[in-house]
Structure 1
Amino acid sequence: MSQTVDRALTILPLLAEGPADLGQVADRLGVHKSTALRLLRTLHEHGLVFRQSDQRYRLGARLFALAQEAVEHLDVREIAHPHLLALNDRCGHTVHLAVYEEGEVVYIDKVESRYPVRMYSRIGKPVAITVAAVAKLLIADFPEGERRVIAEKLDYPTYTSRSTPNAAAFLKELVQVREQGWATDLGGHEESINCVGAPIRGADGRVVAAMSVSAPNVVVTAEELLTLLPLVRRTAEAISREYSGKAPIKEASS
């Protein structure tokens, strides 16, 4: 990256902290005021910074418009899919991606397991919201009042003896999921199917999607599936970093 571009980009996070005058910008960049002024004028011409009446500079409206446009065009499925494939390649189990839309939790991607046993889940199909790990992760992120409203409107079918019985139990589990940052469905929807999931977060820290790994008891036990939790969480974190535009974590050199 050229020195000029690098310096210009350094100005933006500085102004994100609040308005700054020419001297403050020059000091942060370690350059003469004339150099800082040229950079600020260029950014101003493109609407990325704005010069206030007190001669201080702040971020410009054009920058916020670009950010909003970028967010609106982000496709979490497109970003997540290669990571889901890699996870499936490592563990061999079914991998799902889901989002919350208009009162339902819907699968938007699925990578099938490598073994003959198949799950009935389908892309575009709503999940069993009171028991599914992805649903718990998505709803747990809502503020307490919204979680309560959602929980009290739901029906609580008894899919199995391990299904969530009522709103009080659901809300209690959501608190636990919110605190620990992961969720499970251990035979709550189907006695023979277990699932572990983790949240995918946007730049603001809010949960935008949830992913999970599912497997039948005939392939792995619930305890064996839970050993994959660190891998599932690392995958979700990698997707989150890419989705939110954050730099990847560098592996420590040996």
Structure 2
Amino acid sequence: MPSSLERALRILVELASGPATISELGRRLGVHRTTSLRLLRTLEEERFVRRTEDGRYRIGPRMATLAHAALEGVDLRAAATGHLRALGAACGHTVHLAALEGDSVVYLDKVESRHAVRMYSRIGASAPLHATGVGKAILAHLSEEERDELLGPPPFGRCTPNTRTTRTELDEDLAAVAERGWALDDFEHEEFIQCVAAPIRDASGRVSAAVSVSAPGMVLDRAGLLALAPDLTATAGAISEEIGWSARA
């Protein structure tokens, strides 16, 4: 990569964190002030940066146009597929990608378990928000008003004896999910299937999708399932970055 192009890209990355002067950019990039000025003038001509009244530079309108076009073209399933398959290969259990649709979650993709005893699920099927790991991973990051609209009045439908059917117990669970970064389906949707799920964030930081690992209780015990949480949350973070989210924002 030519040094001038590399430096121009580094300037854009620096300005994404906030406006800066020519001297500040020069120090951060380790280049002379005249080099920074030359690059900034070129970027300004093409509207990638804009000079403010106080002499600092900030991201320009053309960057916003490009960012919008890129995000409009994001395909969550395509962005996630490689990460889902890597997680499935590493853990050997069923991996799901799901997204919020209406007042339910819909499974967008699936990696099958390597074990003979498997769970039945299919791409395109919907499931309740309150009784699934992916659903709770999403709900935990929504406002109380959004939860009210999606869940409706309790009691919520009981899928198994473990399903949380009151708003109080569900909200307590969701508070724990938000704090630790992953959700547990403790045999709440299907009596013999447990699941751990983590939220996926879009470029704005909003959570409307999640990734999960599921396994029958006879195949994987609770400790084994929870041990997968770090790899799972790392996968969710990688998918989030693929679709535009940045932890540094």
Report deviation, 1:194.
0.9
Amino acid in the other structure paired with 1:75:
D
**Residues 22/95 of structure 1: CA separation in 2 closer, same or farther (3 Å cut):** closer
Report deviation, 1:246.
6.0
Report deviation, 1:155.
5.7
> Structure 2: how far apart are the matches of 1:31 and 1:118?
58
Amino acid in the other structure paired with 1:180:
R
2:124 aligned with 1:124: yes
Give 1:196's aligned residue: 196
Amino acid in the other structure paired with 2:114:
R
> Structure 1: how far apart are the matches of 2:35 and 2:204?
33
Alignment partner of 1:7: what SS?
helix
Alignment partner of 2:9: what SS?
helix
Give 1:229's aligned residue: 229
Alignment partner of 2:224: what SS?
helix
Alignment partner of 1:209: what SS?
strand
**Residues 53/241 of structure 1: CA separation in 2 closer, same or farther (3 Å cut):** closer
Deviations 1:102-138 (A, max 9, x none): 3321111111222343433221111122110000001
Give 2:214's aligned residue: 214
Report deviation, 1:178.
0.8
Give 1:165's aligned residue: 165
Give 5+ residue unaligned stretches, structure 2.
none
Report deviation, 1:243.
3.5
Amino acid in the other structure paired with 1:124:
G
Alignment partner of 1:114: what SS?
coil
Give 5+ residue unaligned stretches, structure 1.
248-254
Report deviation, 1:188.
0.9
Conservation of the 8 A alpha-carbon contact between 1:23 and 1:33 = yes
> Structure 2: how far apart are the matches of 1:17 and 1:245?
14
Give 2:47's aligned residue: 47
> Structure 1: how far apart are the matches of 2:26 and 2:225?
55
Give 1:252's aligned residue: none
Give 1:240's aligned residue: 240
Alignment partner of 1:188: what SS?
strand
Alignment partner of 1:200: what SS?
strand
> Structure 2: how far apart are the matches of 1:182 and 1:116?
27
Which stretch of structure 1 is more off in the superposition, 148-157 or 160-169? 148-157
2:169 aligned with 1:175: no
Amino acid in the other structure paired with 1:60:
G
Alignment partner of 2:198: what SS?
strand
**Residues 229/23 of structure 1: CA separation in 2 closer, same or farther (3 Å cut):** closer
Alignment partner of 1:95: what SS?
strand
| Number of aligned residue pairs | 247
**Residues 221/18 of structure 1: CA separation in 2 closer, same or farther (3 Å cut):** closer
Alignment partner of 1:127: what SS?
strand
Amino acid in the other structure paired with 1:162:
N
Give 1:67's aligned residue: 67
Report deviation, 1:79.
2.1
